[in-house]
């Protein structure tokens, strides 16, 4: 019979050898670390095995499904989700440990502010993600592309920040676009997205660039900010171009099958 633990940390992986070690060292305070791996072919599993013996291999379906698998496996009273390209700072660690030590707490879940780094440079705007949960208050996750938790009760926000190092180089950025665009296009096809026309493609590209460069003030990040914003537009172009191709060639939906993952 599994004994309840104070906190379980769940990490989803797929070919994360470059950043996983840093992530795992930052979460070493956990009572258990659970890795959900979607078919890594690099040294990800070798690195993970040095820090935990709870490694679950599961083909990629969608992020909600993978997060739910981790939730079912976890024995902690508290659940913390961390991505492989993220890092828990010492200050955030102390805040989390302080919270989970409380015997009676009304808050069911917490948002964590996230400091993002693109191409090695700090982004101008932080975002926040809902990642820390009392297990008995978290029913599960839903959503194919942008997954969301189902929480019973009040939510709060932590004061200290999570570090997120993404898009470390151009090769990685392009690889990720190719890897995930099939999935995102297929999810839109499954949801009966309207017929793709040239103006829809232009609109989503412009919207992505505007959001990144103007609304998120990417212009303050110099050349890196401009490159990142153009990349966001390019990423949307690839996704919608693939969606257009699927709509016009009657391709099969690849959500929930093993293509490319």
- Nearest partner of 205 among 246, 171, 238, judged by Cα: 238
20 and 122 in one domain?
A: yes
Domain edge (last residue) among 107, 135, 166: 166
- Is residue 198 domain-resident? yes
- Is residue 257 domain-resident? no
pLDDT, tens digit, 9 for 90 and up, residues 13-69: 999 999 999 999 999 999 999 999 999 999 999 999 999 999 999 998 889 999 999
- Is residue 50 domain-resident? yes
Instruction: Please give the Cα distance from 118 to 105 (Å, whole number).
Output: 36
**Number of domains, the chain:** 2
Q: How confident is the model at residue 256 (pLDDT cuts 50, 70, 90)?
A: very low
Q: Which of 1-15, 92-106, 204-218 has the lowest mean pLDDT?
A: 1-15
- Is residue 222 domain-resident? yes
3-state SS assignment for residue 149: strand
128 and 116 in one domain?
A: yes
Hey, what are 186's tokens?
Answer: 């297929």
Mean of per-residue pLDDT scores for the chain: 90
Residues whose CB falls within 8 Å of the CB of residue 45, separated by 6 or more in sequence, listed in order: 35, 37, 55
Q: How confident is the model at residue 252 (pLDDT cuts 50, 70, 90)?
A: low
pLDDT of 10 over the 70 cut: yes
- Nearest partner of 168 among 45, 85, 83, judged by Cα: 85
Region of residue 58 (phi > 0: left; psi between -120 and 50: alpha; otherwise: beta): beta
Find out whether 161 and 112 touch, Cβ atoms under 8 Å: yes
- Is residue 41 domain-resident? yes
Instruction: Look up residue 225 and give its DSSP letter.
Output: H
Q: How confident is the model at residue 105 (pLDDT cuts 50, 70, 90)?
A: confident
Instruction: Please give the Cα distance from 234 to 43 (Å, whole number).
Output: 30
Q: What is the dihedral of CA 230, 235, 240, 243, to 10 degrees?
A: 170
pLDDT given for residue 186 in this prediction: 87
pLDDT of 261 over the 80 cut: no
Which whole number is the average pLDDT over 158-166?
Answer: 95
Name beta bridge partners: 165: 117
Domain with 229 in it: 170-249
212 and 195 in one domain?
A: yes
103-116 residues labelled b (16+ CB within 10 A) or e (exposed): eeeebbbbebebbb
Domain with residue 112: its CATH number is: 3.90.550.10
């Amino acid at each position: 019979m599994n004994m309840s633990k104070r906190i379980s940390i769940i990490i989803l992986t797929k070919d994360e050898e470059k950043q996983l070690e840093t992530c795992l060292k930052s979460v070493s305070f956990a009572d258990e670390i659970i890795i959900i791996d979607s078919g890594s072919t690099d040294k990800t599993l070798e690195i993970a095995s040095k820090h935990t013996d709870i490694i679950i291999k599961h083909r990629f379906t969608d992020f909600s499904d993978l997060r739910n698998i981790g939730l079912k496996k976890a024995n902690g009273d508290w659940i913390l989700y961390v991505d492989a390209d993220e890092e828990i700072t010492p200050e955030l660690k102390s805040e989390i440990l302080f919270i989970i030590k409380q015997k009676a707490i009304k808050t069911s879940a917490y948002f964590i502010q996230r400091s993002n780094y693109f191409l090695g440079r700090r982004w101008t705007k932080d975002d926040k993600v809902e990642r820390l949960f009392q297990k008995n208050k978290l029913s599960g996750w839903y959503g194919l592309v942008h997954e969301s938790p189902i929480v019973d009760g009040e939510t709060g926000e932590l004061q200290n920040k999570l570090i997120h190092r993404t898009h470390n180089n151009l090769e990685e950025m392009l690889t990720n676009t190719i890897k995930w665009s099939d999935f995102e296009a297929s999810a839109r096809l499954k949801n009966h997205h309207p017929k793709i026309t040239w103006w829809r493609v232009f609109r989503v590209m412009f919207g992505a660039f505007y959001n990144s460069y103007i609304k998120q003030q990417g212009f303050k990040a110099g050349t890196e900010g401009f490159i990142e914003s153009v990349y966001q537009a390019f990423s949307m172009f690839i996704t919608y171009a693939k969606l257009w191709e699927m709509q016009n060639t009657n391709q099969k939906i690849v959500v929930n099958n093993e293509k490319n993952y």
